[in-house]
Amino acid sequence: MAKNNKPWAGRFRESLAEQAERFTSSVHFDKRLYKQDIVQSIAYARALTKARVLSTAECQKVIRGLEEIMKGIEHGKIHPRPELEDIHMNIETILTEKVGEVGKKLHTGRSRNDQVATDLRMYLKYEVTEIILLIKKLQAVLLDQAEENIKVIMPGYTHLQRAQPVLFSHHLMAYYEMFERDKERFIFAGKQADVMPLGSGALAGNSFDIDRELLAKELGFAKVSKNSMDAVSDRDFAIDFISAASVLMLHLSRLSEELVIWSTYEFDFIELSDRYATGSSIMPQKKNPDVAELARGKTGRVYGHLLSLLTVMKGLPMAYNRDMQEDKEALFDTVDTLKDVLSVYPEMLATAKINSEIMGAAAKKGFLTATDLAYYLVRRGVPFRQAHEIVGKIVAYCEESNMQLEYLSLQQLKQFSDAFTYDVTRILSTESSIASRSLTGGTAAVRVKEAIKRARKNLLHAEA
């Protein structure tokens, strides 16, 4: 009979089947938690020393061994072994091989249940910070483009039909606001992860005199968990993170969709840099917005991870269940996907050429100032619904005559309503329409400049 080297081997008469070994192993993906696991173990060794489980000399020996393992993994001299099941057992086994029997004391009072949960929270706290920094870089590029193109006018759309003229900068600032909300969601996810489960044991708590508050302070946690069963079975923080990631990807996907549309020959509002586009293997003329398309496509991948984790957790009884091992691949891939997209996006936006003349010309077609014309009548006492009908008839007339609103004469307008006077022509230009939207949040240049200034100040303050 093969020797059983598992930490739980005492209870078992047979070794784990080879197929089951491969099926249950997680070291191929949880090895990325090695830093968190070693840092946690060093802190836990000190806590065990204070609890008089380890002597000072033993603690120092364990810490030196753990530090050597950290360097060995970082320099590629130590490689996790699949047969040791996960990164946690790898580190414990390698430690025992290095320092002897004292290495077997490190797991005293600690379960892999609270160990893994603590590692995962430590990992996520760091990644939240990294992702927020990447969002800020993207926001900074949006501000730069908005400031540089403050005079550019474009058609605003509803139902993908030309609706009213807006400043291109106003359109970009809409995405700035979306990403601002995304940062808030990640900040919340970070706070949810900032709770230390260590000391909860397998589910019932730790019977050794571990100073959890001091341990939390050393590991950088804001607080400790309040219920040991909840602590080891909670993955809400991971769900919160992937939920925030899903909304962020939604926003990036919407922006990607617009970049794809705007870069078509039909729109030609922008041209993406050659560095962020690819060609066709058969059609020599093609320039495809593949980076934007992939960013749009990867949104579904993150959505899938959210649904996967929700499904894993929905039917689990208290407390830890092995199903929860499935949290890591979903979480890790979400982190990697987000960081990949956020790393490529700022430069893609910054290097895009804005075809301002084409945008401006497009805003002059499609009767985008029709609403302004209706408001003109309202200000002269015509009820809005009646004004709406009058302007609708004017638009129909323009379509039949193949002309735009701004070229109508006063005499032509008076055929539809006597309320029109000589000053009506002042409000029919796209510039006048934009300037009139001067309430807070509107597209008037004065408001957009204020929004950019306020956003720039907030961004600098957040980085200080």
Q: Which of 159, 207, 281, 461 is catalytic?
A: 159
The Cβ of residue 157 has, within 10 Å, a number of other Cβ atoms equal to: 15
With residue 295 as reference, give the H or E element that holds it: helix 290-313
Cα distance between residue 162 and residue 361, in whole Å: 12
Output the CA torsion 58→61→67→71 (10° steps): -150
Scanning the structure block, which residue is given the tokens 């139902």? 159
The Cβ of residue 64 has, within 10 Å, a number of other Cβ atoms equal to: 13
The Cβ of residue 341 has, within 10 Å, a number of other Cβ atoms equal to: 23
Cα distance between residue 300 and residue 282, in whole Å: 28
Q: Which two tokens stand for residue 429?
A: 């230009």
Cα distance between residue 77 and residue 390, in whole Å: 80
Asked if residues 420 and 414 have their Cβ atoms less than 8 Å apart, the reply is yes
Residue 159 annotated to the active site: yes
Residue 75 annotated to the active site: no
Omega prior to 202 cis, within 30 of 0: no
Q: Which two tokens stand for residue 301?
A: 């991948």
Residue type, 334: T
Q: Which of 55, 79, 280, 438 is catalytic?
A: 280
Asked if residues 54 and 103 have their Cβ atoms less than 8 Å apart, the reply is no
Which residues are bridge partners to 286 per DSSP?
none
Catalytic residue numbers read 159, 280
